[in-house]
């Protein structure tokens, strides 16, 4: 009976630790180009932001940001899709793993960059409010190509005083003529890293299994 209880507890902890915090992680829910739980932000006159059926990594949709300075004015701009989670969605000073699949239309990166950003927020104002910390990473620096690949940023520590987060994917273009590109993002995941107690319990699970075999 003790063995069964320990295994059940182990399974419960493992399930909790691996839960994806991101809503509509594959951009499947929504209406047309609008993805539920995500905000699309046009920061320039020569681009688009939304969900697209053109080239998903899985399912029927992905997020897609693009700019076109070949057929439109060469005006600088930034194009975002982002998710702002409410108070209590994360725990300050805990570690999180972020992963997602992404690709670009072209590996000609002249006059542009693309980023993933996570802002750790104090939305209830209990620790001064606003942004408590951030992680900004260039996807070009991570080696993004024109084929989907998985990117992982592990062990991101939620800032002290944070109670929530904003996750943002960004495509930025300078005022450069005759360039065009697009960014696809799909299958986003943010999970809390198991606490040391959970890791110890995983070890206990192994011991229980060994003892039962003996």
Residue range 120-132: mean pLDDT, rounded: 98
Distance CA(191)–CA(152), nearest Å, equals 11
Residue 205 pLDDT: 53
Q: State yes or no: pLDDT of 9 exceeds 90.
A: no
In this prediction the pTM is 0.85
Residue 210 pLDDT: 45
| Main-chain phi, psi angles of 142, to 5 degrees | -85, -5
Angle (CA) 64 33 71, round 5°? 60
pLDDT tens, 132-185? 999 999 999 999 999 999 999 999 999 999 999 999 999 999 999 999 999 999
> How many Cα neighbours within 13 Å face the side chain of 45?
7
Closest CA to 64 of 75, 74, 73, 53: 53
Distance CA(90)–CA(158), nearest Å, equals 8
**By the 8 A CB rule, do 171 and 66 touch?**
yes
Q: State yes or no: pLDDT of 102 exceeds 50.
A: yes
pLDDT tens, 17-49? 579 999 999 999 999 999 999 999 999 999 999
Residue range 85-106: mean pLDDT, rounded: 98
Q: Which CATH code for domain 20-194?
A: 2.60.120.260
Residue 195 pLDDT: 76
């Amino acid at each position: 009976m003790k063995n069964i209880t320990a295994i059940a507890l182990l399974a419960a902890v493992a399930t909790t630790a691996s839960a994806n915090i991101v809503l509509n992680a594959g951009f499947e829910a929504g209406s047309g180009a609008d993805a539920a739980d995500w905000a699309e932000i046009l920061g320039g006159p020569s681009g688009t932001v939304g969900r697209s059926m053109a080239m998903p990594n899985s399912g029927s949709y992905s997020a897609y940001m693009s700019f076109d300075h070949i057929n439109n004015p060469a005006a600088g701009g930034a194009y975002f899709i982002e998710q702002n989670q409410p108070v209590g969605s994360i725990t300050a000073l805990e570690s999180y793993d972020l992963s997602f699949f992404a690709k670009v239309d072209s590996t000609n990166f002249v006059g542009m960059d693309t980023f993933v950003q996570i802002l750790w927020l104090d939305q209830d104002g209990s620790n001064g409010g606003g942004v408590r910390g951030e992680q900004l990473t260039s996807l070009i620096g991570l080696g993004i190509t024109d084929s989907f690949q998985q990117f992982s940023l592990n062990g991101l520590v939620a800032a002290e005083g944070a109670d929530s987060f904003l996750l943002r994917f960004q495509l930025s273009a300078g005022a450069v003529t005759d360039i065009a590109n697009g960014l696809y993002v799909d299958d986003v995941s943010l999970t809390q890293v198991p606490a040391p107690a959970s890791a110890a319990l995983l070890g206990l699970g192994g011991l229980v299994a060994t003892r039962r075999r003996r």
